[in-house]
Amino acid sequence: MLKIGVLASGRGSNFQAIINAVKTGYLTARVEVLITDNPAAYAIKRAEDNGIAGLVMRPEEYSSPDTYYAAVADDLVKRDVGLVVLAGFMRVVRKPLIDLFPMRIMNIHPALLPSFPGLHAQRQAVSYGVKLSGCTVHFVDEGMDTGPVIIQAAVPVCHDDTEESLSERILKYEHRILPYAIRLFAEGRLEVKGRVVKIQGRTKKDEGVVVSPAIDR
Ligand code: GRF
């Protein structure tokens, strides 16, 4: 069975969505470990509540970012993790981790990449005035939110949205597409060809998760 290592820096609602997907049987996988860079992360409590090993690993305690990511990778390898999920991990991961998990690290980003990469994606979308934003699950490469896209959900933006209201609307879809992307990976249905990720055996039902209903108000 696929073993998952989750990296998260804060609240951990996406981490919770993964835990729930495993609990309900939607996802056949095991969450092996939560690693956080933030000792105050609420994600730690979620790990504890669900019998998942929770590790605090702070970059400040390592001599360089590369040493840090080598240590993180070492732990994940020791636990025989097959997929690393960045679920609100607020750092750009580096080569020592990426090299050991090529196309085996996923990130959830709260915008339709390549629009609005980096921090405060929802704020960027609101200030730009786009009418459509959403969220993206992608494989991680060395760039900032630049790796091959696995799945996206489109979410409407209203003219009176704030960063908070848009974040809340997008988050609901993050919680759907992240477990979905992990499930596709666990089922061996993701094939990466250059930048393009092919989803094998995609059905009409699969398409249903990617577009939110229009908002009528
Ligand atoms: C999410 O919006 C995620 O897309 C972004 O950071 C937020 C983390 O939320 N990268 P949570 O910690 O999963 O609740």
140-161 residue pLDDT tens: 999 999 999 999 999 999 999 9
Pocket test for ligand 1, best of 7, 13, 137, 177 (most atoms within 8 A of CB): 13
Percent of the chain with pLDDT over 90: 92
Per-residue pLDDT averaged across 169-191, rounded?
A: 97
Question: E-strand spans in the chain?
Answer: 2-8, 29-36, 53-56, 83-86, 105-109, 132-139, 149-156, 190-193, 196-199
Ligand 1, atom 8: closest residue by C-alpha: 88
> Rounded CA gap, 121 and 115, in Å?
8
Of the two residues 205 and 136, the one the predictor is more confident about is 136
> Rounded CA gap, 30 and 140, in Å?
21
71-101 per-position pLDDT tens digit: 999 999 999 999 999 999 999 999 999 999 9
- Predicted TM-score (pTM) of this structure: 0.94
Per-residue pLDDT averaged across 109-114, rounded?
A: 98
> Rounded CA gap, 132 and 112, in Å?
8
Question: E-strand spans in 17-161?
Answer: 29-36, 53-56, 83-86, 105-109, 132-139, 149-156
The pLDDT score that the predictor gives to residue 106 is 98
With bands split at pLDDT 50, 70 and 90, how would you rate the model's confidence at 215?
A: low
Residue 210 to residues 78, 81, 151, 217, Cα–Cα distance (Å): 35, 27, 7, 21
Atom of ligand 1 nearest to the CA of 9: 12
Pocket-forming residues, ligand 1, beta carbon under 6 Å:
8, 10-14, 87-88, 108-110, 171, 174
The pLDDT score that the predictor gives to residue 201 is 86
CA triplet 208, 11, 182: central angle to 5 degrees? 35
Ligand 1, atom 1: closest residue by C-alpha: 88
Atom of ligand 1 nearest to the CA of 12: 12
Residues annotated as catalytic are 109
